[in-house]
């Protein structure tokens, strides 16, 4: 604004405010919008290349698509798929369930809890998963029997290790403990991301610490826990392929058992790849939904909150 | 040091603090606080920044542990139990029960951002006091109306202005029917034009006979709404008495120096 600008009164109609000759032309609402030729060209090129590549892949006999189609739903593959999925789900669930108390222990004031949880994370995160699986599978070699006893005192119960450790239990224990170490760190990061004042507020209203964690802190921490947990789950789906070394027939193992017989290695690997991609796509979609749920209360996403809100609204009205 | 306890001092005190000391490491923040607060009394705590006002409120609510002395709320010592001549610390459960008798309003509101206004207000009544949900919602709806936010029942905190958030925080503190309401500089984080609406809400509460301890820099509020003004400096209560006495003709030089900044 320059000194010669006449002092103006509040304008009601916007048109009146454009009081110099060029002013109405300067209104950005009427600005020229160039057609983005270069973007359109880029799109065209990318689509063309993608179409061409798809055509090449689809018509290349070396990929063996008929074989892929033949075995995609074969019972052996589906059995392997089932093993992969339930092993991943069970191990992941156990990993989260164990990881939460470990995260809380690491954040507690108690030195003993702190040290033990630190030791757990240090060991299970610091050694290769493959080695852990083999160790669990061969536990009977280290400890022929497992007993429950008072330290340096009498034994209460005893089992033969080989009766307990089967490929299934070794796989679950190995995957779950390893996962728990990673989840503990992810959850701890999430809990740390929540303002300390939230815990204090909840406690100052008489909530006990565990309830305050559950109702106030964890729901807020979920925003930063969910995305890396999604990553972990997807890694877990693929990590289950390691259990083939301890003779569990997961998806990859089943596919291998077929191509060892038929020598159709590439098509059979594509069967596995397509299934892995399908599972991870579904997981990504689920993750996106969960993230939207925990984003409620954010200014930017009012519609995400609508469902959650409707519930209390009804209660308030009823 | 404590002078002018002549203000409303009837009946049994709701809150009784004796010789309260609190240090953080080598830094002694509270150096022997004696304070009585009676039912329906509104006590304003004034004092320069760093004088220990927030720490005192946090000690009352057991967010901090005191090193010496004791605090009684509603006739019950907080944090400890005296039985058979032995003073034993209380467990987590008992401490939580004692805290639930006090409502706290924070400088930075501290609403639960993942919950709506209504959910914020019913959280403690339903979850801690085990009041039936339906009843808690009815009470909460009334309280939210009292702070003038009926149209915001289902809004999330981040969708509200600072003044509105602080009024929700007040409704949340009222919802647990507290014996004492603690306010720690409730208007200090607000834009100047929003201070008035929160102070108005607090004046209403004061006139309705709630027991309130208010740490504030709003001298005007202290003068009009408080029954007693307590002036703190360097971890001591330097002077206390009726607002007209302490604010108009302060006796202690520290009080005078502090108040001169507001004139
Ligand atoms: N958690 C803490 N740890 C260490 N020092 C603290 C802590 N809380 C407060 N203090 C110190 O205690 C003193 C009094 O703080 P505070 O009670 O917040 O004063 P006021 O509310 O009167 O401004 C300050 O010197 C502050 O640095
Ligand atoms: Mg303070």
* Fold for the domain defined by A66-294: MetI-like fold (1.10.3720)
Which residues of chain A have a CB within 8 Å of the CB of B99?
203-206
Number of Cβ within a 10 Å radius of residue B45? 28
Ligand 1 atom with the shortest distance to the CA of B64: 1
Instruction: Categorize the per-residue pLDDT at A310 as very low, low, confident or very high, splitting at 50, 70 and 90.
Output: low
Two tokens, residue B65: 């542990």
Q: What is the pLDDT of residue A312?
A: 58
Distance (Å) of CA B5 to CA A69, A190, B9, B72: 91, 49, 7, 18
Band of residue A155 on the pLDDT scale cut at 50, 70, 90: confident
- Indicate if the pLDDT at residue A11 is higher than 60: no
- Give mean pLDDT, residues A7-13: 47
Contacts across the A-B interface (CB distance below 8 Å): 91
A87 half-sphere exposure, CB direction, 13 A CA radius = 29
Q: How many CB atoms lie within 10 A of CB A62?
A: 7
**CA angle centred on A200, ends A224 and B89, rounded to 5°:** 130
Residue A88: both structure tokens together: 């991943």
Task: Label residues B180-207 b or e (16+ Cβ within 10 Å = b).
Answer: bbbbbbbbeebeeebbebbbebbeebbe
pLDDT of residue A168: 87
What is the Cα–Cα distance from B212 to B105, expressed in whole angstroms?
11
- Please indicate whether residue A144 or residue A223 has the higher confidence score (pLDDT): A223
Q: Which of B89, B63, B174 is nearest to B129 (CA)?
A: B174
pLDDT in tens, A168-217: 888 999 999 999 999 999 999 999 999 999 999 999 999 999 999 999 99
Tokens 């002077």 sit at which residue?
Answer: B239
Cβ-based burial of A186 (10 A; exposed 0-12, middle 13-18, buried ≥19) = buried
Closest CB from A216, A220, A316 relative to B141: A316
Question: Is A305's CB within 8 Å of B156's CB?
Answer: yes
What confidence category does residue A9 fall into, taking pLDDT thresholds of 50, 70 and 90?
A: very low
Report the C-alpha gap between A20 and A231 in whole angstroms: 59
Tokens 């191990």 found at: A91
Residue A54: what pLDDT?
A: 92
| Structure confidence by residue, pLDDT tens digits, A18-73 | 888 888 888 888 888 888 999 999 999 999 999 999 999 888 888 888 988 999 99
Q: How far is A221 from chain B (nearest CA, A)?
A: 10
pLDDT of residue A2: 41
pLDDT digits (tens, 9 = 90+) for A283-304: 999 999 999 999 887 765 444 4
Q: Look up tokens 């090449």; give the residue.
A: A56
pLDDT given for residue A167 in this prediction? 84
DSSP state of A10: P
Q: Judge whether residue A137 has pLDDT over 80.
A: yes
Residue A306 confidence (pLDDT): 54
* Nearest one of B170, B145, B165, B169 to B155, comparing CA atoms: B165
- Residue of chain B with shortest Cα separation from A198: B110
pLDDT for A153: 80
Categorize the per-residue pLDDT at A148 as very low, low, confident or very high, splitting at 50, 70 and 90.
Answer: confident
Q: Is the Cβ of A193 closer than 8 Å to some Cβ of chain B?
A: no
Helix (H) or strand (E) holding A171: helix A167-192
Verify whether the Cβ–Cβ distance A298 to B118 is below 8 Å. Answer: no
Q: What is the pLDDT of residue B157?
A: 95
- Residues near ligand 1 with C-beta < 6 Å? B 24, 27, 29, 47, 49-55
pLDDT at A263 over 60: yes
Report whether B222 contacts B44 (CB < 8 A). yes
Token pair for A19 = 């009081």
Separation between Cα atoms, residue A182 and residue B257, nearest integer Å: 57
> Among A199, A204, A217, A221, which would you mutate to test the B interface (most chain B Cβ atoms within 10 Å of its Cβ)?
A204
- Kindly tell me the burial class for residue A255, based on how many C-beta atoms sit within 10 Å of its own C-beta (0-12, 13-18, 19 or more): buried
Low-confidence ranges of chain B (pLDDT < 70): 1-10, 263
Round the average pLDDT of chain A to a whole number and report it: 86
């Amino acid at each position: 604004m320059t000194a010669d600008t006449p002092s103006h009164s509040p304008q009601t109609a916007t048109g009146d405010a454009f009081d110099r000759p060029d002013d109405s032309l300067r209104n950005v609402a009427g600005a020229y919008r160039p057609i983005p030729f270069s973007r359109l060209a880029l799109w065209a090129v990318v689509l063309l290349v993608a179409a061409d590549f798809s055509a090449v892949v689809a018509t290349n006999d070396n990929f063996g698509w008929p074989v892929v189609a033949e075995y995609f739903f074969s019972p052996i593959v589906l059995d392997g798929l089932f093993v992969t999925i339930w092993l991943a789900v069970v191990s992941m669930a156990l990993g989260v369930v164990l990881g939460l108390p470990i995260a809380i222990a690491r954040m507690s004031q108690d030195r003993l809890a702190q040290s033990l949880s630190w030791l757990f994370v240090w060991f299970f995160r610091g050694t290769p998963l493959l080695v852990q699986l083999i160790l669990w599978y061969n536990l009977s070699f280290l400890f022929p029997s497992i007993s429950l006893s008072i330290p340096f005192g009498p034994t209460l119960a005893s089992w033969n290790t080989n009766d307990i450790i089967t490929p299934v239990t070794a796989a679950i224990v190995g995957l779950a403990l390893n996962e728990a170490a990673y989840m503990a760190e992810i959850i701890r990061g999430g809990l740390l991301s929540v303002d300390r004042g939230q815990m204090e507020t909840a406690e100052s209203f008489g909530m006990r610490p565990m309830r305050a964690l559950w109702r106030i802190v964890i729901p807020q921490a979920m925003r930063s826990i969910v995305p890396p947990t999604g990553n972990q789950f997807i890694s877990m789906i693929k990590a289950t392929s390691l259990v083939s070394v301890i003779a569990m027939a997961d998806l990859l193992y089943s596919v291998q058992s077929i191509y060892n017989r038929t020598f159709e290695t590439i098509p059979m690997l594509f069967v596995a790849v397509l299934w892995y991609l399908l599972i991870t796509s579904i997981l990504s979609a689920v993750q996106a939904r969960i993230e939207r749920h925990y984003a409620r209360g954010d200014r930017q996403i009012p519609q995400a909150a609508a469902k959650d809100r409707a519930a209390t609204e009804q209660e308030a009205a009823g | 040091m404590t002078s002018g306890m002549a203000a409303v001092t009837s009946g049994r005190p709701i809150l009784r603090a004796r010789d309260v000391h609190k240090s953080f490491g080598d830094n002694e923040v509270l150096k022997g606080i004696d304070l009585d607060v009676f039912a329906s009394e509104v006590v304003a705590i004034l004092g320069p920044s760093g004088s220990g006002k927030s720490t005192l409120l946090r000690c009352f609510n057991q967010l901090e542990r005191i090193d010496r002395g004791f605090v009684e709320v509603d006739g019950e010592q907080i944090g400890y139990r005296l039985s058979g001549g032995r003073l034993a610390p209380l467990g987590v459960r008992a401490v939580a029960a004692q805290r639930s008798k006090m409502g706290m309003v924070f400088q930075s509101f501290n609403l639960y951002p993942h919950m709506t206004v209504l959910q914020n207000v019913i959280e403690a009544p339903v979850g801690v006091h085990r009041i039936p949900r339906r009843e808690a919602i009815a009470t909460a709806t009334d309280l939210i109306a009292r702070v003038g936010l009926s149209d915001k029942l289902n809004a999330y905190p981040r969708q509200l202005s600072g003044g509105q958030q602080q009024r929700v925080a007040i409704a949340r503190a009222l919802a647990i029917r507290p014996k004492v309401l603690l306010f720690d500089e409730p208007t200090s984080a607000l834009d100047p034009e929003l201070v008035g609406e929160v102070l108005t809400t607090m004046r209403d509460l004061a006139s309705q006979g709630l027991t309130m301890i208010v740490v504030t820099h709003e001298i005007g509020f202290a003068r009009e709404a408080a029954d007693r003004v307590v002036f703190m400096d360097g971890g001591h209560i330097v002077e206390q008495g009726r607002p007209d006495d302490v604010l108009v003709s302060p006796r202690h030089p520290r009080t005078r120096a502090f108040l001169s900044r507001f004139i």
